[in-house]
Amino acid sequence: MEKAFTKDELCTLYRRRAARYDITANLYYLLGFREFAYRNQAVRALRLQPGETVVEIGCGTGLNFASLQQGVGSRGSIIGVDLSEAMLAKARERVQRRGWRNVELVECDAALYHFPTDVSGVLSTFALTLVPEYEHVIENASRALSPGKRMVVLDLKQPQGWPTWAVRLGVWLTRPFGVSLALLERHPWEAMASSFDRVALTELYIGTVYIAVGEMANSGGGT
């Protein structure tokens, strides 16, 4: 099977794509892929409240920041974590342009990131499966979340019943963003079931996209 990109390869890939990332992401709308609608749905699933703190793993250029701002408000905090300095540079431009004073950007490998305690939400959109240690990230996120709070993952998956040629075509179309056949073997929603008290999975775009919601019980602690 085709190997997944290494972290160094991903950094190189996103360094090259950073300047045009937002524009090229929109091209998939021509195929009916409603990326921003999916992103907004994922953010809503966090059920954020004004004044809360949310951590976004793989924040990229900050495409989700506006939606997250609507959730936490000016009194809340957004922490964006990303491995790529080039993508964070674009995120920083977005933050400065919008005048947001409650956004902290952290250049860090997600697997090495130390979550603050008692965060109110953890989000990852089209990023977590790129991390080989995604299970470790999920476990750390669950420990950092306050009781009753959520982690939401929006990502790509292999749809059931599709012929091999169709799967390979889908991978080829998304390869510019680091997608490979090897990533289809990674199932974050299954790892979430080991760290969260409740997990719900919603499939979108004929089964090629999913939103997984992991929630901690109000009493705290995972299963």
Residue-wise pLDDT tens digits, 120-142: 999 999 999 999 999 999 999 99
Mean predicted confidence (pLDDT) in 85-100: 96
CATH number for the domain running over 7-215: 3.40.50.150
Torsion of CA 196, 44, 154, 157, to 10 degrees: 90
- Is the pLDDT assigned to residue 223 strictly greater than 50? no
pLDDT at position 48: 98
Predicted confidence band at 165 (pLDDT cuts at 50, 70, 90)? Answer: low
- Is the pLDDT assigned to residue 21 strictly greater than 50? yes
- Is the pLDDT assigned to residue 109 strictly greater than 80? yes
Q: At residue 44, what are phi and psi to the nearest 5 degrees?
A: -60, -35
- Region for residue 167 given its phi and psi (left: phi exceeds 0; alpha: psi -120 to 50; beta: otherwise): alpha
Q: What is the pTM of this model?
A: 0.85
Mean pLDDT of the chain: 87
Q: What is the pLDDT of residues 32-62, one digit of tens each?
A: 567 889 999 999 999 999 999 999 999 999 9
**Tokens representing residue 15 in the block:** 């360094």
CA contacts within 13 A on the Cβ side of 48: 33
Predicted confidence band at 11 (pLDDT cuts at 50, 70, 90)? Answer: confident
Long-range contacts of 218-223 (CB under 8 A, 24+ apart): 218/147, 218/148, 219/147, 220/146, 220/147, 221/197, 222/142, 222/143, 222/194, 222/195, 222/196, 222/197, 223/194, 223/195, 223/196, 223/197
- Pairing assessment for the beta strands 53-57 and 119-125 based on DSSP bridges: parallel
Domain segments of the chain as ranges: 7-215
CB 72 within 8 A of CB 51: yes
- Is the pLDDT assigned to residue 74 strictly greater than 70? yes
pLDDT at position 221: 42
**Tokens representing residue 189 in the block:** 């929603």
- Euclidean distance between CA atoms 45 and 214, whole angstroms: 10
CA angle, residues 19, 133, 203, in degrees to nearest 5: 75
- Is the pLDDT assigned to residue 170 strictly greater than 70? no
